[in-house]
Amino acid sequence: MRTKENNQIFCDVCATLQSTRKKCKICGNRIYARKPYSLLKTLLYTLSAFIMLIPANLLDMMSSIKLTVEYPQTILGGIMWFYEEGDYFLAFIVFFASIFIPIFKILALIWLLIMAKIGKNRFSYFSTKLYKIIEFIGKYSMLDIFVVTIMTGFMQFGNLIHIEAGGAVIPFALVIIFTMLATQNFDTKLLWDEK
């Protein structure tokens, strides 16, 4: 059903059709035909994520301090460490979660923005699938943040050995949060509107 033309809006919270008004008469949720400022918000969050991606990859993720000697490690350094230890599978998982997913998400969001601007075309089906994929895999990039949290919590033995979070943690967390917000603010219905 084309709800936009019928002056009817589907409420996401209580799953009922509503005649156009600002609030749903059943659950009080704010309703709209399309998310307000969807493309602008998605674009700005994507750009912010892209900017934050640079310090996230250049700065240290965490550094272990053994007997006052510091061993800093970037994201890529951590992956190389697993690779050299022979843990190829883990190296792959960390690479996938920390490097592949953020970059893939940003590229996918740019593609979605272009497609939403064009309107309904032969890629609309593919774009909707792509949106579902980036919405699902987004949370897996939190892996590195969790690893740093656990490691710093475990290894606190004063000067003998302790692990500190590096400068890349906050930019990296921001990359993930910004891409998640961008995905949330994107309205897939825009992919199917005929312009």
Q: CB 57 → other proteins: shortest distance, Å?
A: 19
Q: Which of residues 47-66 bind other proteins (CB under 8 A)?
A: 64
Q: Which of 90, 118, 170, 173 binds other proteins (CB under 8 A)?
A: 90
Q: From residue 162 to residue 191, what is the string marking binding to other proteins with x (rule CB under 8 A)?
A: ------------------------------
Q: Which of residues 130-169 bind other proteins (CB under 8 A)?
A: 139-140, 142-143, 146-147, 149-151, 154-155, 161
Of 16 and 20, nearer to other proteins (C-beta) is: 16
Interface with other proteins, residue 104, by CB under 8 A: no
User: Residue 170: phi, psi to the nearest 5?
Assistant: -65, -50
Of 64 and 121, nearer to other proteins (C-beta) is: 64
Which amino acid, 161? I
* CA distances (Å), origin 141, targets 75, 93, 98, 99: 12, 10, 5, 8
CA 12 to chain centre: 22
Q: Which of 6, 13, 120, 125 binds other proteins (CB under 8 A)?
A: 13
Q: CB 17 → other proteins: shortest distance, Å?
A: 13
Tokens of 107: 């590229």
Q: Tell me which residues touch other proteins (CB under 8 A).
A: 13-16, 26-27, 64, 85, 87, 90, 93-94, 97, 139-140, 142-143, 146-147, 149-151, 154-155, 161
